[in-house]
Chains A and B, each alone.
Chain A
Amino acid sequence: MLEVIDVSKSFKERTAVSHVNFFIEKGEVVGLLGPNGAGKSTTISMISSLVAPSAGEIFLGGYSVKKDRTSIRRMIGVVPQEIALFQDLTAQENLRFFGRAYKLKGNELQERVEHVLEIVGLSERADEFVKTYSGGMKRRLNIAVALLHEPELLIMDEPTVGIDPQSRSYILETVRELNRTKNMTIIYTSHYMEEVEYLCDRIYIMDHGEIIAAGSKKELKAMLMEEDSVVVTLSEPAEKFAEKLRENPAITHIHTSGEEAMIRAVKDTPVLESVIQLTRAAGVDIKSVEVRSPSLEDVFLHLTGRTLRQ
């Protein structure tokens, strides 16, 4: 359904996106995972036809983003990272305004407005001003606007930024339901790996404007199958021991944060023993030890040496 072919985008001296390639099949939920500034939003803007690629091509349903902008825009619904709503209007007024922008009118407009309000659970508060809504409600209305014209491709750019866990969970469920019941194709960008992990069939990991890994959750995690992950919490800052641990050839990666050290080592090597020996020698207590299976966060760490939120 969507093909992004060798797309790059430069703003003056800065390259925001470099030689990005990916595809999305109809009915898929695909995640774009990456830290802030990785190039996710620029990629989204290019797919949305808001920013023209400096190089490469993007096709949606056979239409070129460069040549058939109007057709492309009819097919997509964009949920921007920002709350793109009129704060002084009610939810109903906002939806009617954008509905008319999508050329909906009369009964059809009213039916669609009621329907999307129902989807995002705001029917009861449709006549309240947006400025009186909580952050989560605004986010939900932000999604509702993008659903008004029943798009084939829903593009969601960080739709859960800055909201409470309950609202986040509601939004994630809504996205799942849209995909399940309407077979809607969805691009979901986030730097919350747990959201992408929960929602997406396939994931593209971006960093510094490039796609550095792609595949299903299983495929990505398989990159780390040859390694074990251990998280050790110490009674003192972990960085003190990191240097000595690095001397152990079985340890492939160490990431410290405060008293916590995340250690990856070659599978089935006695890495925990080394840690215990080192801490004993230094007179430091181990508070807890967790051996865990690899997550997308670990994959990102493995690929970039940084966490998603760094």
Chain B
Amino acid sequence: MFKTMLGKEVKQLLRERSELLTLLIMPVILITILGSALQNMMSPGSAGTDKVTTAVVSETSQEEELNNFADYIANQEIPEEERETLIEEAVNVSVPELLTETLNALADDGFLVVSEYAGGAAEKDNYDGVWHFEADYREQAWKQMFLGEERPEPAEVEASGQTAVIEGVSDAFFNELNWQKEATYLALAEGEALPEPIQTEVNVEQLDNRSVITSFDYYTAGMAVMFVLYTATFLATTAHTERKSHVYHRLLTSNVPMWMYLAGKGGAGVLLSLLQLSLIFTFSSLVFDVSFQNLGLTAVIAGGLALTVGSLSMLLTAVNYRIRNEQASALFASVGVTILAFLGGSFFNVSQLSETVATIGRILPNGAAMQSLLAVMGGAGSELIYPMLLSIIVFSVLFAGAALLVFPRKEDL
């Protein structure tokens, strides 16, 4: 009977043109429009919803390099008084410290998180960006700044996520630093040649085999996790029609148990969601070159999300039956889906608005699935989808349990 019910739901959906339009055509249209329109605004790496995590690594301490610099200038033909001034000034223009200060200012504004490593190494995988300063970077920079010697090798920046943000912060910092340096020279040493800027380009290194997330990737994930929710409302609405026309009564009198009916709705929710997600992903893959990197993990995410949609179908069906109208599914379709999609980040990265909102979004099954899809699209491993699996299991159990509790017994029908 379960199989028969699944077959019936699939047939009904295929014959409902307006529903097909909502479930398949609308997401495809929105992926096309939003993906194209925001292609330039959404540069690689800016799709994530987490705070940017950064680390500044200096192989040696400032004090050690300051001593080395003092020793170096002691051997130069520089008057004692000027040597002391240079040492004092060097502390103020120590690049790793200035960068850390800049990053801390951004952290205070809530944009990122900064960690400092002096004389050690940061675990690259734990950060979106790591600025790495070689053992004598400060010393070389001071020599270039104060003595006009050769500029140091550019600091290495390793970006594993949020590439655009890391690149932008680096550019902004070094441009500002050079600009200030030039201004100082112009003010104090008029007539003298300007020293070369200390770092004119940022070497951004992609770690692992992670890919950048494009706007098409983002909206494929966003629209898929949003529109899959409408499958639940479709099923709950057909269930309401079945109650009204007494089809459900007819099933009961043919000895189909109540739980089988609900399970049929849940199973149909899983099956139809999987079909829907497969079609949307295939479309995006073929038309927009969206790459899912790991098909196995993508299938696990799609399966998990489909499971949640199945249990949500059961719950909406049960509520519709309990209140004897279709307001529950109608309200969910008009307001619920929009709220979930907003919190889950289907429209844009909500962490830009509020970290609390983003955290809530990541807990919700659609938000969790979206994060996992983006992570997989970016080449992440299976460990990143564990939180999503937890969210999906919890919500599926809650929805299904609530459905069984809410679904009215026969006399209430």
Contact = CB atoms under 8 A, between A and B. Distances in A.
Interface of A: 48-52, 70, 73-74, 76, 78, 80-86, 88-89, 93, 97-98, 100-103, 129, 145, 149
A70 B253 CA distance: 9
B16 interface: yes
A83 to B, nearest CB: 6
Contact of A85 (B11, B245, B253): B245
B11 A50 contact: no
A100 B253 contact: no
11 contacts: A50-B410, A52-B411, A70-B255, A73-B253, A86-B242, A86-B247, A88-B12, A89-B12, A98-B254, A101-B4, A102-B254
Given A78-B250, A82-B246, A145-B250, A89 B8 contact: yes
B252 A50 contact: yes
Given A50-B413, A51-B410, A52-B411, A78 B253 contact: yes
SS of B interface (majority): helix
A84 B4 contact: no
B1 interface: yes
Nearest to B13: A88
A98 B250 contact: yes
Contacts of A83: 245
Q: Ordered nearest first, which 10 A-B pairs have the shortest CB separation?
A: A101-B254, A84-B246, A82-B246, A84-B250, A100-B4, A80-B246, A88-B15, A73-B255, A84-B247, A88-B12
B121 to A, nearest CB: 64
Given A82-B245, A82-B246, A50 B12 contact: no
B253 A50 contact: yes
Contact of B249 (A50, A70, A103, A129): A50
Interface residues of B, number: 23
Contacts of A89: 8, 11-12
SS of A interface (majority): loop
Contacts of A48: 249, 253
Given A85-B247, A149-B254, 19 more contacts: A50-B249, A50-B252, A50-B253, A51-B410, A51-B411, A52-B410, A73-B253, A78-B249, A80-B250, A81-B246, A82-B244, A84-B247, A86-B8, A89-B12, A93-B11, A97-B4, A98-B250, A101-B251, A101-B255
Nearest to B254: A101
With most chain A CB atoms within 10 A of its CB, the pick from B4, B251, B255, B411 is: B255
Contacts of A49: 253
A118 B231 CA distance: 37
A235 B1 CA distance: 64
Given A50-B413, A70-B255, A101-B256, A88 B11 contact: yes
B253 A97 contact: no
A52 B409 CA distance: 11
Interface string B231-269: 000000000001011110111111110000000000000
Nearest to A11: B411
Contacts of B11: 88-89, 93
Nearest to B242: A86
A41 B410 CA distance: 15
Contact of A73 (B1, B244, B245, B254): B254
B259 to A, nearest CB: 14
B260 to A, nearest CB: 9
Contacts of B255: 70, 73-74, 101-103
Nearest to A51: B411
A85 B245 CA distance: 7
B95 to A, nearest CB: 70
